[in-house]
């Protein structure tokens, strides 16, 4: 602790970190009338951080290959120390994050905070909601269980109801006519790189906009 404090002091003397940290993090002003429902956005962000952390730990043992995916998840749950806990936290965390994002959105809708000047906050939020749902959906296939296989089958069948282009969308999402090893590889890449990467970018945009307008003041 003393070492960390000394390192911080050394950096602070050189780069004046304290005024920056105080202005942007520790002395953030929020309206007195915000209430407990104002914490859902922050909690959704906390869940995202937990998901990234537990996801990286799971990646150490997980194999995105149809012949080994199920075995690797079973290995994590039964042989890796605390593996069952990390796996459970990651699986349940996905659901909790969706619930928190929806509760955050419900508060914004209830207080009509989406109105000017916060329309683009709402728009970036809709993108974040889609990305959150996408991460949960692609992650569901990864353990390669019967349930996840049929879940992905049914969900990727839904676009076929769209006239003309529906079939193509379904083939694109499955990387072929059926759920296969190709789908697993595609969902894996989406789950660990593309969707979280996009989520980080849009969260950055979301938070910057909130900083510029300030948090709304509910009556």
Residues that bind ligand HEM (CB under 6 A): 38, 40-42, 44-45, 48, 101, 104-105, 108, 113-114, 118, 121-122, 125-126, 128-129, 132, 203, 206, 210, 215-216
How far apart are CB 93 and ligand HEM at their closest, in Å? 12
**What stretches of the chain show up as alpha helix (H) in DSSP?**
2-15, 17-21, 40-59, 69-78, 83-110, 119-141, 146-157, 166-174, 181-189, 195-213
In whole angstroms, the minimum distance from the beta carbon of 199 to ligand HEM comes to 6
Name the closest residue to ligand HEM (Cβ). 125
- Nearest to ligand HEM of 72, 132 (CB atom): 132
Closest distance of CB 27 from ligand HEM, Å? 16
Burial letters 123-156, b for 16+ CB under 10 A, else e: ebbeebbebbbbbbbbbbbbbbeeebbeebeeeb
Render 117-134 in DSSP notation, one character per residue. T-HHHHHHHHHHHHHHHH
CA nearest neighbour of 135 among 80, 203, 79, 85? 203
Q: What distance in Å separates the CA atoms of residue 3 and residue 21, rounded to the nearest whole number?
A: 20
CB of 10 to ligand HEM, least distance (A): 32
Nearer to ligand HEM, 40 or 62 (CB): 40
For residue 138 the two structure tokens come to 């692609």
Residue nearer to ligand HEM on the CB measure, 49 or 161: 49
Distance in angstroms (rounded) separating the CA atoms of residues 28 and 158: 45
Of the pair 9, 217, the CB lying nearest ligand HEM is at 217
Rounded least distance, CB 197 to ligand HEM, Å: 14
- 86 vs 128 by CB, closer to ligand HEM: 128
């Amino acid at each position: 602790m003393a070492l960390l404090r000394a390192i911080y002091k050394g950096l602070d003397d050189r780069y004046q970190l304290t005024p920056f940290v105080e202005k942007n993090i520790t002395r953030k002003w929020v309206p007195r009338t915000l209430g407990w429902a104002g914490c859902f956005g922050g909690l959704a962000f906390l869940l995202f951080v937990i998901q990234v952390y537990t996801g990286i730990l799971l990646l150490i043992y997980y194999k995105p290959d149809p012949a080994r995916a199920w075995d690797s998840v079973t290995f994590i749950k039964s042989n890796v120390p605390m593996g069952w806990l990390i796996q459970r936290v990651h699986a349940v965390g996905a659901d909790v994050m969706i619930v928190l994002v929806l509760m955050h959105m419900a508060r914004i809708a209830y207080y009509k905070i989406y109105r000017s000047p916060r329309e683009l906050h709402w728009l970036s939020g809709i993108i974040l909601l889609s990305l959150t749902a996408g991460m949960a959906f692609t992650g569901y296939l990864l353990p390669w269980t019967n349930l996840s296989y049929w879940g992905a089958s049914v969900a990727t069948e839904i676009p076929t109801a769209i006239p003309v282009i529906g079939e193509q969308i379904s083939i694109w999402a499955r990387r072929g006519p059926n759920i296969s090893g190709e789908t697993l590889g595609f969902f894996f890449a989406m789950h660990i790189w593309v969707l979280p990467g996009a989520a980080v970018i849009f969260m950055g945009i979301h938070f910057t906009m909130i900083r510029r307008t300030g948090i709304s003041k509910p009556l």
